[in-house]
Structure 1
Amino acid sequence: MNLYQVNTPSEHKKIISKVIKPFSDRAAIHDEEGSFPFQNLADLKSVGYPSLTVPKKYGGQGLNLSEWLPLQEMIAQADGSTALSIGWHIGIISQLNDKKTWPTPVLEHLYQDIVQNGAILNAAATEPETGSPTRGGKPTTTAKKVDDGWLLSGRKSFTSMAPALDYILITATMPDDRVGQFLLHKSDKGVRIEETWNTIAMRGTASHDLYLDDVVICADHLVDIVVPGQKSPAGWLLHIPACYLGIAQAAQSFALSYASTYSPNSLPGPIKDLPTIQTKIGENEAALMQARYFLYGVAAKWDRATDEERLEMQGELGAAKYHVVNAAVEIVDRAMRVVGAQSLFKEHPLQRYYRDVRAGLHNPPMDDMTLLKLASEAFLQIEDVN
């Protein structure tokens, strides 16, 4: 059975729960090797996962944010790297449905490839010279007009899923100093991946460097014009906190299992009976509950909101990511305190959760930008009252 054959959230979850069963064991291997989980992606493709947010009129499943975010959290409980990776694809496709700025033939061809072949897309916007594009740096990657389209040259970093991508959405500075978004295919001559990803966290995302060596693409593959640092509110980016919430839940589940079974001879029973252990477990449960209410409450509001109302949600979206990710970091830390020194052993997944969850602090939007945005909105409210 695949996702096309069911209609309810519970049915979606049932299918995903079966698909992700082997992901946890594979996660340890990919973390150790720094390799990409191709089999995980193949398993997700086998049930139609890449088409979750493709509109129904194009053959996709057309799920809204509240429907697909819980599936991302489930995948993250099994393997954070896989969840974060496929989340970029699902989210970007979701955003395309909202923006409707691309040339129709290009967009329809992309949708068709996703639905029929499970094609995978991600964006590559970060560059070593500019840092995070959310900070407003202009790309050093260039786009020059040529007779048959555009000539692209440059280098991108943090290209998640690099070995598995079919399409890559890149930003480049044009001759008139505007910044364009261009759609590339991995088969375009001059597209090259250099395997540079060697971090301690999210090792399975294979976020290698992308090189564009005089890549020529068709004129209509200039799909959008963007302004660096000026981002409209994007509900799809909630896939980021959903991922780290899933990792936090995995850590809590491990701590619960460990505390229920570990019984040192200094105690009459397992450590779960100790008040200090119960307090930490309870604190984690409260934090998980609060994070879910916040995350899925904002997601539901996004789904209900008009285009005009969504323009006012930048602060809430950023606050959801800020709260959930920082809560996830604290939850994993407390889970490790429950387990004790055993949490540092490589044979246990907690040490991987600890490393992976910290990557969320460096995904957009950054904490400082969110807090400045919230402060600015608060001061504006005071000015309006006065």
Structure 2
Amino acid sequence: MSDIADYYDLSRIRPEVQAKLRLVNELGREKFAGRAKGIDDDASFPVENYRDLAAEGFLGLCIPEEFGGWGFSMFEYAMVGAEIGKYCGATALTFNMHNSSMAWSRFMFDMPNLTPQEKAAFAPLRERQFRRAIAEKAIYSQPISEGGQNWTSKPNQTQCRKVDGGWRINGFKKFASLAGYCDYYTIVCTEVFEGQEPRHEDTMLFVVHKDAPGLSVRGEWDPLGMRGTNSRDLILKDVFVTERDLLMPRGIFNKTLPNWPHMMITLSPTYIGVAQGAFDFMVDYLKGKIPGQPPIDRRMYATKRVAVGKMYARLANMRALWWQAFGEAKGFPSKGEVLRMYAAQYNVMEGAAEMTSMAIRTCGGQSMLKSLPLERMYRDSRCGALMLPFTSEIMEDYLSVLALYDMDEIDSAPGDEGGARMSLWRGEHGAARSAR
């Protein structure tokens, strides 16, 4: 299996981050890799992997040090997520859901466009979430999809309505990763008012405990890939929440997220990891170093060597762009930084599927067997390009629009029917657009 020194410039990575990257690789080699097949076969949640991650402190990865966390940047989190993905894609993908909730509270609080009053209201809310993750080792999920509803183009169909002492939430979430296994769900919903159509600017985020009355998990989970995410349906029926349950105060989500667009590509580390894992397996297979397999050296075949060269070049290009994009992750990025971010997301999601497909072709028929991990990696890799909010098709559109149109022309560019470009970055006008 590859080492972080094989593909990262370690002089640009803090020593304490390097130590955690090596630790997660140790967990991956000794524990995650061996469990991955059973998790995939049974479509079961990686409970033991989460126990290991929690025991080593990884649940606090993005939490500021003053609250007991590690204070990792988005760039540093991405590297950790990618290393997990080398061994178990489902663990890496769900780990992102937990860390996204922590990251939203961490990085959006630091946005320069928040007023002192907004930060004062935000501070106790985020501290509550941080303390839970550190002291209780609480795991968070972040279900957003609603099945057939594009939450980037229209307000969330899960709605909350004001009642005495708080709100009542009604709705459902599709593909709710960690369903039944997390401690808290970060619920994105729309506050509705009598006589008024639902609006994006009325988006609210609440943290709902797994045992809250009215919350239930339903449905089967038998997908193509990423089977261990346990992404079943989450039903909310008159779930009561109060102001103490807010993830962030009213209005801050719409004021900050459009100006922190890198927050929406945090699925990509998983797929960089899957691609690297597939490459590593292929190299070991061709060397005859796979445990339980005959020690046959297949490196003498020119066709296989050529394929390995092509794949190394593809993976190196993917990682270089992806690493640069996450290194530039911050609030209020430039247009060039956003274009690189979109290009990185597109290249990773498309490239992971290409890499695993080529790895199977290069290794040959044995690699199709479920007893070997490459077949699972192949199926896992097919899932990335269709994940909202930044599917490959959306990235193609966004890249073309930002490349072809000046910022003051974007809203008049064809193809925005039905608000299809609601999640498109619009520079300094982003927050205003998202509130429409």
Matched, 1:59 2:68: yes
Q: Do 1:194 and 1:209's aligned partners in 2 also have CA atoms closer than 8 Å?
A: yes
Letter in 2 for 1:80: G
* Cα distance between partner residues in 2 of 1:342 and 1:207: 30
> For residue 10 of structure 1, what is the amino acid of its counterpart?
Q
Q: 1:356 aligns with which of 376, 380, 389?
A: 380
User: Is the counterpart of residue 175 in structure 1 residue 192 in structure 2?
Assistant: yes
Cα distance in 1 between the residues matched to 2:312 and 2:67 = 41
SS, match of residue 173 in structure 2:
strand
C-alpha RMSD of matched pairs (Å) = 2.3
Q: Deviations over 1:234-261 (max 9, x none)?
A: 3244432211111111111111122122
Over 3 Å counting, the alpha-carbon distance change for 1:369 and 1:231 in structure 2 is farther
2:182 is the counterpart of 1:161: no
2:147 matches 1:128: yes
The answer on 1:335 being equivalent to 2:345 is no
CA distance in 2, matches of 1:137, 1:236: 19
**Per-residue Cα deviation, 1:157-209 (whole angstroms, up to 9, x for no partner):** 11111122111111223223233222211121111111422101100001111
- Does the CA contact (< 8 Å) of 1:84 and 1:239 recur in 2? no
Distance 1:87 1:181 in 2: 18
Amino acid corresponding to residue 164 of structure 2 in structure 1: D
Query: In structure 2, do the counterparts of structure 1 residues 383 and 308 end up closer, same or farther at CA, with 3 Å as the change threshold?
Result: closer
Shift in CA distance, 381/139, structure 1 to aligned 2, threshold 3 Å: closer
Q: Deviations over 1:347-379 (max 9, x none)?
A: 111111110001101123012222222211222
For residue 216 of structure 1, the aligned residue among 211, 233, 240 is 240
User: Matched residues in 1 for 2:107 and 2:405: separation?
Assistant: 28
Q: Where in structure 1 are there 5+ consecutive unaligned residues?
A: 1-5, 263-268
The answer to whether the 8 A contact 2:328-2:337 is kept is no
SS of the equivalent of 1:140 reads: coil
Unaligned runs of 5+ in 2: 1-13, 110-117, 290-295, 410-436
Partner of 1:378: 403
Amino acid at match of 1:309: P
Alignment of 1:285-304 (within 5 A): 285-302=312-329
Question: Residue 236 of structure 2 aligns to a residue in which SS?
Answer: strand
Q: Report the equivalent of 2:340.
A: 316
User: Following superposition of structure 1 onto structure 2, how do residues 105-116 of structure 1 map, counting pairs within 5 Å?
Assistant: 105-116=124-135
Q: Is the 8 A contact 1:238 1:295 kept in 2?
A: no
Q: Matched residues in 1 for 2:107 and 2:31: separation?
A: 34
Instruction: Using structure 1 for the length normalisation, give the TM-score.
Output: 0.89
Determine the C-alpha separation between the residues in 1 that align with 2:359 and 2:222. Answer: 26
Distance 1:158 1:214, change over 3 A: same
Whole-Å separation in 2 of the counterparts to 1:332 and 1:95:
32
Query: By how many angstroms is 1:314 displaced?
Result: 3.4
State the Cα distance separating 1:231 from its structure 2 match.
Answer: 4.0
Could you tell me how far apart the structure 1 residues matched to 2:135 and 2:231 are?
A: 26
The answer to whether the 8 A contact 1:168-1:184 is kept is yes
For residues 167 and 365 of structure 2, what CA distance do their matches in structure 1 show? 56
CA distance, structure 1, for counterparts of residue 25 and residue 79 of structure 2: 11
Distance in 1 between the 2:407 and 2:49 partners?
Answer: 50
Contact 2:141–2:186 (CA under 8 A) maintained in structure 1: yes
Does 1:282 pair with 2:290? no
Q: Does 1:93 align with 2:112?
A: no
Answering whether residue 282 of structure 2 is matched by residue 255 of structure 1, we say yes
Q: Which amino acid aligns with 2:343?
A: A
CA contact (8 A) 1:58 1:111 kept: yes
Please say if residues 232 and 314 of structure 1, whose CA atoms lie closer than 8 Å, have aligned partners that are also in contact. Answer: no
Structure 2-normalised TM-score?
0.79
Count of aligned pairs between the two proteins: 367
Partner Cα distance (1:199, 1:30) in 2:
13
SS at match of 2:145: coil
Identity rate of aligned residues, in percent? Answer: 26
1: CA distance, partners of 2:127 / 2:336: 30
> 2:161 matched to which residue of 1?
144
Larger mean Cα displacement after TM superposition, 308-317 or 28-37: 308-317
Per-residue CA deviations over 1:99-147 (Å, capped at 9, x if unaligned) read 12673222111111111122111222211241x423x133222211110
Distance 1:145 1:151 in 2: 7
Q: Is the 8 A contact 2:259 2:333 kept in 1?
A: no
Q: 1:195 to 1:26 in 2, by over 3 A?
A: farther
Q: How far 1:336 moved relative to its partner? A: 0.4
**Residue number in structure 2 paired with 1:366:** 391
Check 1:293–1:180 CA distance in 2 against 1; reply closer, same or farther (3 A cut): same
3-state DSSP class of the match of 2:70? coil
Q: Is the 2:45–2:228 Cα contact (8 Å) retained in structure 1?
A: yes
Range that drifts further, 95-104 or 59-68: 95-104
Determine the C-alpha separation between the residues in 2 that align with 1:251 and 1:184.
Answer: 37
Decide which of 15, 25, 28 is 2:37's aligned counterpart.
28
Deviation at 1:68, TM superposition (A): 2.0
Show the counterpart of 2:24.
16
